[in-house]
Amino acid sequence: MGDGVRGRSVMIAGATSASGHAAARALVAAGASVIAVGRRDDALAPLRDLGARTAVCDLADEAEVAAFAAMLAADGVRVDGLLHLVGGWRGGGGLRGQTEADYRALESGLSALRHVTRAWWDDLNASPAARTAIVSSTAVARPLAGGANYAAVKAAEEAWARAMAQGFAKDARDRGVAQTAASVIFRVRALAGLEEALGSAFVGLWDADAAEVSDTIVGLGAPN
């Protein structure tokens, strides 16, 4: 609460999508320092124009993430927030059409989430106001055969995000302090058309009590 996200350093992982641009605009407008991360520098250029610091990093590569984390730490940057947007959709063809290649491509989003949250876990726990969020899918609650790979990966990402929430609560409890970090899941049926809503909802997490908002699933858009 307090000043909300103003003055916080917030990372957007997989920032080059329309959702990443919308989140960056919302965060910059609210006074946050944005770190936009993607795989291609040319795709990150519009985010620099919005006022974000940009970095090229394959977040599915643990070694690259570790090197990036060390670089930010050397620059004196401590991360107060993370919006995880790494991922995409692959599917179709019923259950037999759920190929190994598609699964491995989707799995990179989960790998990125794991690497990034472990790399900046200490920063998030030490922050006076940390918020993290992933974008999941209503397919987790109602998986279909043609999207089984996708739903399985999203379910795993949700499990990781909920484990983070438990970790934040336990750390605060063990230290005998009020919880200041939260992990939230946004669920959508389809993200297209909800980019601005996602950005606003993410920024709004800093206006809510960490313990109350953590480990919640927030639906965006029309219910499935």
Predicted local confidence at residue 173, as pLDDT: 97
Residue 20 domain flag: yes
What is each CA distance from 77 to 9, 101, 123, 182, in whole angstroms?
A: 7, 37, 9, 20
pLDDT at residue 17, rounded to an integer = 96
**Residues in the chain, total:** 224
- In a domain, residue 51? The reply is yes
The per-residue pLDDT string of the chain (224 residues; one tens digit each, 9 = 90 and over) reads 468 999 999 999 999 999 999 999 999 999 999 999 999 999 999 999 999 999 999 999 999 999 999 999 999 999 999 999 998 888 889 999 999 999 999 999 999 999 999 999 999 999 999 999 999 999 999 999 999 999 999 999 999 999 999 999 999 999 999 999 999 999 999 999 999 999 999 999 999 999 999 999 999 986 54
Total domains, the chain: 1
The pLDDT value given to residue 104:
96
Provide the β-strand partners of residue 132.
82, 183
Sign of the alpha-carbon dihedral angle for 118, 119, 123, 126: positive
Residue 137's CATH number: 3.40.50.720
**Residue 215, domain extent:** 9-219
Beta-carbon-side half-sphere exposure of residue 87 (alpha carbons within 13 Å): 28
Place of tokens 């919006």: 83
Residue 182: alpha-carbon gap to chain centroid: 12
Query: Any idea which residue has 């302090």 for tokens?
Result: 177
The rounded distance, in Å, linking the Cα atoms of 1 and 205 is 9
Q: In this structure, is residue 1 part of a structural domain?
A: no
4 inside domain: no
Q: Is residue 224 assigned to a domain? A: no
